Amino acid sequence: MTRKFPKDVFITAGFNTISLGSGRKEFNPKKPRPGIAQYVAEAGKGAVKQINSPANIDECVVANFMAGRFVHQGHLGAFAALIDDSLEYKPSTRVEGACCSGGLGLVASMKNVLSGLSDVSMTVGIEVQNSVKAIYGADILAGAGYYDGTRKDGHAFYFPSLFADKAKAFYQKYGEEKARKAMATWYANAIQNARLCPEAQENHNTDPDPFSTGMTPPNPKAFLDGINVFDCSKVSDGGSAIILATREGLKKIGKSEKDSVQIAGYGHCVADITKVASDLTCLETTRRAVEQAYAMAGVTPADIGIFECHDCFTITGLLSLEAAGFCTAGKSTEFVIDGKSRRDGILPTNSSGGLIGFGHYTGGTGVRQAVDILRHLTGTAGTYQVAVDPKRPYGLMISMGGNDRTVVAFVFKKVA
The Cα–Cα gap between 173 and 66 comes to: 35
The Cα–Cα gap between 130 and 117 comes to: 38
Task: From residue 173, give the alpha-carbon distance in Å to each of 53, 64, 162, 176, 270.
Answer: 55, 36, 17, 9, 26
The Cα–Cα gap between 123 and 328 comes to: 34
| Closest C-alpha among 213, 217, 198 to residue 18 | 198
Cα 178 from chain centroid (whole Å): 26
- Total number of residues shown for the chain: 416
For 53-149, where are the alpha helices, taking DSSP H only? 67-70, 101-114, 134-141
- Per-residue pLDDT of 120-145, as tens digits, reads 999 999 999 999 998 999 999 999 99
Fold of 9-132+235-259: Peroxisomal Thiolase; Chain A, domain 1 (3.40.47)
Strand extents, DSSP E, 36-159: 59-63, 92-95, 120-127
Tens of pLDDT along the chain (416 residues)?
A: 678 999 999 999 999 999 999 999 999 989 999 999 999 999 999 999 999 999 999 999 999 999 999 999 999 999 999 999 999 999 999 999 999 999 999 999 999 999 999 999 999 999 999 999 989 999 999 999 999 999 988 898 999 999 999 999 999 999 999 999 999 999 999 999 999 999 999 999 999 999 999 999 999 999 999 999 999 999 999 999 999 999 999 999 999 999 999 999 999 999 999 999 999 999 999 999 999 999 999 999 999 999 999 999 999 999 999 999 999 999 999 999 999 999 999 999 999 999 999 999 999 999 999 999 999 999 999 999 999 999 999 999 999 999 999 999 999 999 87
Domain boundaries, the chain: 9-132+235-259, 156-234+264-413
What's the pTM value of the predicted model, to 2 decimals? 0.98
- Per-residue pLDDT of 287-311, as tens digits, reads 999 999 999 999 999 999 999 999 9
Q: Are 160 and 313 in contact (CB under 8 A)?
A: yes
Fold of 156-234+264-413: Peroxisomal Thiolase; Chain A, domain 1 (3.40.47)
